[in-house]
Chains A and B, each alone.
Chain A
Amino acid sequence: MKENLIVREAARLLIPFILLFGFYVIAHGEISPGGGFQGGVILASAFILYTLVYGSKDSERVLSFRVSDPLASLGVLIYAGVGVATMLLGGLFLDYNELNPAHPPAGQALGISLVELGVGITVSAVMITLFNEITRALRK
């Protein structure tokens, strides 16, 4: 689809805004509808749009599987890491109150933000992986 001028230019304009919107949804999951899952899927859809328009060779150079595989595990690591960190700080597993002993609700907000970030990273990396693997044999 690279030859089609309209599709190429429209995708070039849209993809940065889709990425920005994905990060916005992850970050604002506490105030408005959204959160880790929704934002992660939107980030993945920006990358899928790039692959559909510019081909798999170009998108492999942008985000190869050597990057998306570790990113998928990084998100789960962040989530479990927050749990272990609260244990090391003296509380139970995933007890966010320990993240800020002076003001526990602030610790809860920090914990929720970190956890949503981890979920967003994993979901976006896994959705990109799913798309790449299913379309693998179509590569030239």
Chain B
Amino acid sequence: MQWLGHYNYWIYIALMMIGFYAVIAKPNLVKKVIGLGLFQTAAFLLYISIGMVEGGTAPIAWEHAILYVNPLPHVLILTAIVVAVSTLAVALALVIAINRAYGTVESDQIDAQDIKPGR
């Protein structure tokens, strides 16, 4: 993707901003969780693209390889992917618990139920 120059970083930032917009603008809790997933995966893409070396091959020892891609970002992002799915699971468990307690997953309706007098 080097023919794009700096523009490829801008596309990854656009993807991140799409997810970020979903987290802060959508009142539905499941949409927020989906937006968080989009944001996280786009951030991983940014990191992996930083570790790319032109002409490098996958970081597994191979006798015909001249140059290897940097393996460090891969290690960090491997950890981050698994942490992201753990976060998604706990977030979905909280959504289920909120749905059980309030009967809805729209955050404005949840706020309205909380402000009822006498609670």
- Where chain B touches its partner, the secondary structure class is helix
A-B contact count (CB 8 A): 14
Size category of the A interface is: under 10
CB neighbours of B78 from chain A (8 A) = 37
Of B58, B81, B92, which contacts A134 at CB under 8 A?
B92
Q: Decide yes or no whether A133 CB sits under 8 A from chain B.
A: yes
Of B58, B82, B96, which contacts A37 at CB under 8 A?
B82
Q: Decide yes or no whether A123 CB sits under 8 A from chain B.
A: yes
Interface-central residue, B58, B60, B78, B82, by most chain A CB under 10 Å: B82
Q: How far in angstroms is the closest Cβ of chain B from A120?
A: 12
Once the chains bind, are A33 and B60 in contact (CB under 8 Å)? yes
Instruction: Write the chain A residue with the least CB distance to B81.
Output: A37
Once the chains bind, are A134 and B96 in contact (CB under 8 Å)? yes
Once the chains bind, are A134 and B93 in contact (CB under 8 Å)? yes
A52-87 contact mask (Cβ, 8 Å, vs B): 1 or 0: 000000000000000000000000000000000000
Q: How far in angstroms is the closest Cβ of chain A from B98?
A: 14
Q: Decide yes or no whether B89 CB sits under 8 A from chain A.
A: yes
Bound: A130/B96 CA distance, A: 13
Q: Decide yes or no whether A32 CB sits under 8 A from chain B.
A: yes
Which residues of A approach B to under 8 Å, CB–CB? 31-33, 37, 123, 130, 133-134
Q: Which 3 A-B pairs have the closest CB atoms?
A: A130-B89, A37-B82, A134-B92
Offer 14 A-B interface pairs, CB within 8 angstroms, sorted by A.
Answer: A31-B60, A32-B60, A33-B58, A33-B60, A37-B78, A37-B81, A37-B82, A123-B82, A130-B89, A133-B93, A134-B89, A134-B92, A134-B93, A134-B96
